[in-house]
Structure 1
Amino acid sequence: MKAVIFDMDGVIVDSEPIWIASKQQMLREQGIEVPDAYHHQLFGMTLRTMWTKIQADFNLPLSVDACITRGEAIRQAMRKDLPVKSIPGSITLIQRLFEAGIPLAIASSSSNKDIALAVDALGIRPYFQVLVSGEDCARSKPFPDVFLKAADALGVKPETALVIEDAVNGVKAAKAAGMVCLGFENPAFTKQDLREADGIIRDLSLLTIEQCQQYFGEEQE
């Protein structure tokens, strides 16, 4: 294992409940009610990919750009007075890996602005050598672009990198990149289908470097 690449939303930052709530409000404004479970398939997508799908699924009268603008206005208003919260155990794990000298990256479908806001609010920017946003990639998760870009920036081969993901689209993207992927099942969230992951973890604070290493061969160039 030469590097660890983290997804951000749902792995480091407890942001997914606000994402769901803001999209639900946007759809209600259009007279549409859907179960929260509908949104699980959207986790890991960039804003444009996500709203393109929603717009098509419900034949919304708004353009994709208008959906993005309104959806983001709702989300920003919802989180305006809320502190950025970390997922329990995430910062402990990040610090453990950093202290062991393992290069770290974030590869997130969130915008560069949201990534910067989160890492600065949590005080974890110094731990990461690389921050990659899906908005800088041609294709969104479940395509592997964001993870391949992170590995390239870290200077490691994809097959030597470990990804930690909580969303089915992210797991698919990591495996498409040829990387080892651990699926994080947050007990506070509804379970997603992470069966394609190489392993499942439920408490980030308990994940050890030795456990991470076991998914790799003894020797890596």
Structure 2
Amino acid sequence: MIKTVIFDMDGVIVDTEPVHKFAYHQHFKELNIEVSDEMYATFTGNSTRNVFQKLKETFGLKEDVEDLILRKRHLFNEAFDTKPDLELIEGVLHLIQDFHQNGMQLIVASSASNSTINRVFNRFNLNQYFNYKVSGEDFPKSKPHPTIFLHAASLSANTKDECVVIEDSTNGILASNAAGIFCIGYDSANSKHQDLSLADMVIQHFSEINAEKVQKIKEN
């Protein structure tokens, strides 16, 4: 029986991707580098640190990775605070509340920074529903490495077999598989060029699942 749900955040709980994309591309202009759409798509599910490590290697950037991270974070925070149409993904709040009301433990495990996770959770009053918030910036390796999900599962009051991950990215699904945790792939219209084929099940809308269905998911 599933007792713990581990949520990704970007593209699953809230669509901050347009804000991230705006901030990244503003930064790319400042750095005078051209990042293709194909390369940018591979960043989904990666931590900002790993993204800039890759960019530094690819483009031979002279700037320190930590300085690059701080500049991009400043651009993101500036855009986040001024963007009025930032909303939760349709149906996800009802699903979170349903899980919570049915006694399921909720954990967020996101590649986003701790500051970004807290900004989202404070803006949408989500702290009351989640037991733990885990950021990818606290680990040396990003998704698709399984560390973040293994850590999230270790925080759970339940066994790994009683956990499920909800993800929308190729890297996140690979990380969930590598961690040995059942994965629900969310086929988000906001997450482009992602391969959900390795997810254990795929949904197009959060109305397709609820606490009762998820709790019994491994019994089917």
| TM-score by shorter chain over 0.5 | yes
1:76 paired residue number: 77
1:147 and 1:177 in contact (8 A); partners too = yes
Partner Cα distance (1:56, 1:157) in 2: 39
Deviations 1:131-186 (A, max 9, x none): 11112234221111111111111122222211000111111111111100011111
What fraction of aligned residue pairs are identical, expressed as a percent? 36
1:21 paired residue number: 22
1:88 and 1:205 in contact (8 A); partners too = no
Query: Residue 122 of structure 1 is aligned with which of 100, 110, 124?
Result: 124
**Is residue 2:98 matched to residue 1:96?**
yes
Aligned-pair Cα RMSD in Å: 1.8
| TM-score computed with the length of structure 1 as normaliser | 0.90
Partner Cα distance (1:8, 1:131) in 2: 10
Query: Residue 165 of structure 1 is aligned with which of 164, 167, 186?
Result: 167
Q: Which amino acid aligns with 2:181?
A: M
1:186 paired residue number: 188
Q: Which amino acid aligns with 1:32?
A: I
Q: Secondary structure at the residue paired with 2:32?
A: coil
Matches within 5 A, 1:1-221: 1-83=2-84, 84-217=86-219
| TM-score computed with the length of structure 2 as normaliser | 0.91
Q: Secondary structure at the residue paired with 1:80?
A: helix
Task: Report the count of equivalent residues.
Answer: 218
1:214 Cα deviation from its structure 2 partner:
5.0
Q: Secondary structure at the residue paired with 1:132?
A: strand
Q: Secondary structure at the residue paired with 1:200?
A: strand
1:19 Cα deviation from its structure 2 partner:
1.1
Q: Does 1 or 2 have the higher relative contact order (CA < 8 Å, sep 6+)? A: 2
Residues 162-171 or 113-122, more deviating? 113-122
Q: Which amino acid aligns with 1:78?
A: A
Deviations 1:50-98 (A, max 9, x none): 1111221222232212221222222222222124421111111111111
Q: Which runs of 5+ in 2 are unaligned?
A: none
Q: Which amino acid aligns with 1:76?
A: N
2:41 and 2:193 in contact (8 A); partners too = no
2:17 and 2:190 in contact (8 A); partners too = no
Residues 73-82 or 88-97, more deviating? 73-82
Q: 1:65 to 1:136 in 2, by over 3 A?
A: closer
